[in-house]
Amino acid sequence: MNGVTISFDKSRTYINIQLDPSLFDADIDISSIRAELERGETSGLYVSEKSLKSACDTANHYFKTGDSTIVRERIGERKNAEVEFRIPEDNMSANLVLTAPYGGKLPSMGAIMSLAMKSKIVKGISTKRIKTLLIRAKHATSGEILEDTIAKGLPPRNGKNSKFIPLVPNALERILKPQTQVGERVDMRNLGEVICVKVDTPVLKRTAPTKGRTGFDIKGNKLPSVPGEWLDFKMGSGTVVSDSDSNLLVSSISGMPKYRDQIMNIDDTFICTGVNVGSGHVNYEGAVLVNGDVTEKMQIKASGDVTINGFVESALIESGGDIIITEGAMGKVNDNDGEYHCKLIAAGSIHVQHGQGVEVQCKGDVTVGRQLAYSRLRCGGAVIVGQLDNPMGNLFACDIISQGRVEAGTLGAVSGSTLKIDFSPGFNLLLERKDGLDELLKQIRENNSKHKEKIDLLKSKKVPKELKQKMTDALELFNNETALLEWIEGKASEVKGAKESYQSDVKLIANKRLYPGVTAKLNNRNWRSEREYNRSQIRYDAHQWHYDPIV
Instruction: Specify the pLDDT at position 182.
Output: 47
Confidence category of residue 318, pLDDT binned at 50, 70, 90: very high
Q: Is residue 337 part of a domain?
A: no
Q: Is residue 342 part of a domain?
A: no
Gyration radius of the chain over CA positions: 39
Is residue 192 pLDDT above 50, yes or no?
no
If asked whether residues 92 and 34 sit together in one domain, one would say no
> 3-class secondary structure for 431-467?
HHHHHHHHHHHHHHHHHHHHHHHHHHHHHCCCCCHHH
Question: Could you tell me which residue, 259 or 336, shows the higher pLDDT?
Answer: 259
If asked whether residues 52 and 97 sit together in one domain, one would say no
**DSSP codes of every residue in 161-224:** PP-EEESS--HHHHHTS----TTS---TT---PPP-BPTT-EEEEEPPPP-EE-EE-TT--EEP
Instruction: Specify the pLDDT at position 190.
Output: 44
Instruction: Specify the pLDDT at position 462.
Output: 84
Q: Is residue 178 part of a domain?
A: no
If asked whether residues 427 and 396 sit together in one domain, one would say yes
Torsion of CA 122, 126, 129, 135, to 10 degrees: 70
User: Model confidence over 345-392: pLDDT tens digits?
Assistant: 999 999 999 999 999 999 999 999 999 999 999 999 999 999 988 899
Number of alpha carbons in the 13 Å side-chain half-sphere of residue 322: 25
If asked whether residues 71 and 90 sit together in one domain, one would say no
* Residue 234 host element (H or E): strand 234-235
Confidence category of residue 338, pLDDT binned at 50, 70, 90: confident
If asked whether residues 98 and 66 sit together in one domain, one would say no
If asked whether residues 44 and 132 sit together in one domain, one would say no
Instruction: Specify the pLDDT at position 13.
Output: 86
Instruction: Specify the pLDDT at position 39.
Output: 82
Is residue 413 pLDDT above 50, yes or no?
yes
Q: Is residue 352 part of a domain?
A: no
User: Model confidence over 10-65: pLDDT tens digits?
Assistant: 888 888 988 888 888 888 888 888 888 888 788 888 888 899 899 999 998 988 88
If asked whether residues 18 and 112 sit together in one domain, one would say no
Domain range for residue 118?
A: 82-152
pTM of the model: 0.71
Is residue 337 pLDDT above 80, yes or no?
no
Flag the least confident range among 15-19, 335-339, 445-449: 335-339
Write the CB contacts of 470 (distance below 8 Å, at least 6 apart in sequence). Answer: none
Q: Is residue 124 part of a domain?
A: yes
The rounded distance, in Å, linking the Cα atoms of 29 and 19 is 12
Instruction: Judge contact between 349 and 366, C-beta under 8 A.
Output: yes
Is residue 308 pLDDT above 60, yes or no?
yes
The rounded distance, in Å, linking the Cα atoms of 298 and 162 is 45
Angle at 429 between CA 493 and CA 508, to 5 degrees: 95
Confidence category of residue 178, pLDDT binned at 50, 70, 90: low
Mean pLDDT, residues 134-158: 93
Mean pLDDT, residues 425-437: 93
User: Model confidence over 486-537: pLDDT tens digits?
Assistant: 999 999 999 999 999 999 999 999 999 999 999 999 999 999 999 999 999 9
Of 368, 386, 381, 374, nearest to 419 by C-alpha is: 374
Please give the mean pLDDT across all residues of the chain.
Answer: 90
Q: Is residue 95 part of a domain?
A: yes
If asked whether residues 101 and 52 sit together in one domain, one would say no
CB atoms under 10 Å from CB of 416, counted, come to: 15
The rounded distance, in Å, linking the Cα atoms of 121 and 113 is 9
What percent of the chain is helix, strand and coil (3-state, nearest 5)? 25, 35, 40
Instruction: Judge contact between 366 and 377, C-beta under 8 A.
Output: yes
Q: Is residue 395 part of a domain?
A: yes
If asked whether residues 383 and 402 sit together in one domain, one would say yes
If asked whether residues 12 and 148 sit together in one domain, one would say no
Give the start-end residues of each E strand in 100-156: 145-152
Angle at 111 between CA 106 and CA 117, to 5 degrees: 140
- What's 42's DSSP letter? G
Confidence category of residue 67, pLDDT binned at 50, 70, 90: confident
User: Model confidence over 127-139: pLDDT tens digits?
Assistant: 999 999 999 999 8
Q: How many structural domains comprise the chain?
A: 3
Which residue, 25, 48, 77, sits at the end of a domain? Answer: 77
CA 364 to chain centre: 22
Which residue, 54, 77, 100, sits at the end of a domain? Answer: 77
If asked whether residues 19 and 94 sit together in one domain, one would say no
Which residue, 104, 133, 152, sits at the end of a domain? Answer: 152
Confidence category of residue 180, pLDDT binned at 50, 70, 90: low
The rounded distance, in Å, linking the Cα atoms of 306 and 260 is 16
Q: Are strands 518-522 and 419-422 parallel, antiparallel or unpaired?
A: parallel
Q: Is residue 482 part of a domain?
A: yes
If asked whether residues 386 and 431 sit together in one domain, one would say yes
202 φ/ψ sector (left φ>0, alpha ψ -120 to 50, else beta): beta
The rounded distance, in Å, linking the Cα atoms of 386 and 353 is 9
